Amino acid sequence: MLNSCRIFLTWGVKFSFLLLLAMLFVRTAEAATYNLSSGSYPPCNSSWSVSGSTYTCGARVSLGTGDIITASGNVTIYANDGFSLANNTTVGSASVAINLTSNYGTITSSGTTTVYGTVNAGSGVVTLNNAVINGALTSTGNINLTGGSVSGLVTSTSNTITTNGTNLSGGATAQSGMSITGGTLAGNFTMTANNAVTFSGVTMTSGSITGASTVTIQNGSVMGSSSNAITVSSNNGAITVNNSTVY
């Protein structure tokens, strides 16, 4: 009976060890590091070409879970059909900017993505979930952000900006409308056409709100402070403040 227990325990330890090795192998196989300067490129549905510091994919660039893109100096990745960024991906670093530029395709992230550089979607829609963008974010299409943060100016030159729980420290500019829910804000929030803006449950530490047809501030928003006033104006409609504080 004792020998049987020992055999069982031995095989149990071996099985656990093999299972752990298999899990580590799968995790390693899923994640990859691409060093553009060394000629290592992320998956592209077409072919790659290089001109100076610009790396061009003829179709769409897709990063898998945990993937990392690095380079020895500041570069731009241009993808005609946009970018798909999976969970826990990193593009660039604090010392090296890697800018992402799309022609017409969407730019999407599924969670916990960090980009050190600007993001330009061309005419594509931007949909980011828990992404940290250390730079400006621009598109002519709609921009939809959930969680995460953007350090630079967020601009939709022809459409709307919609955020939920996203920290915006560089302001935002939109044409067709702006709906900001939650998050900490700073900078100038500007409408380039006579359309409405809504701020709901936000904290705005500095900046201004201008250019909109109407402005709605609601659901416990705090705009400015006793030592730092916020400028709020509309073109021709009402400025409505519900259950919020505006300095």
Q: Return d(Cα 229, Cα 174) in angstroms, integer.
A: 23
Q: So what's the pLDDT on residue 148? A: 98
Q: Return d(Cα 164, Cα 91) in angstroms, integer.
A: 23
Q: Which parts of the chain register pLDDT below 50?
A: 2-28
Strand-pair partners of 199: 180, 217
Task: Tell me the C-alpha to C-alpha distance, in Å, between residue 232 and each of 19, 76, 209.
Answer: 60, 37, 5
Name every residue whose Cβ is closer than 8 Å to that of residue 24 and which is 6 or more positions away in sequence: none
pTM given for the model: 0.88
Q: So what's the pLDDT on residue 21? A: 46
Q: So what's the pLDDT on residue 70? A: 98
Q: So what's the pLDDT on residue 18? A: 44
Q: So what's the pLDDT on residue 111? A: 85
Q: So what's the pLDDT on residue 184? A: 98
Q: Return d(Cα 78, Cα 102) in angstroms, integer.
A: 6
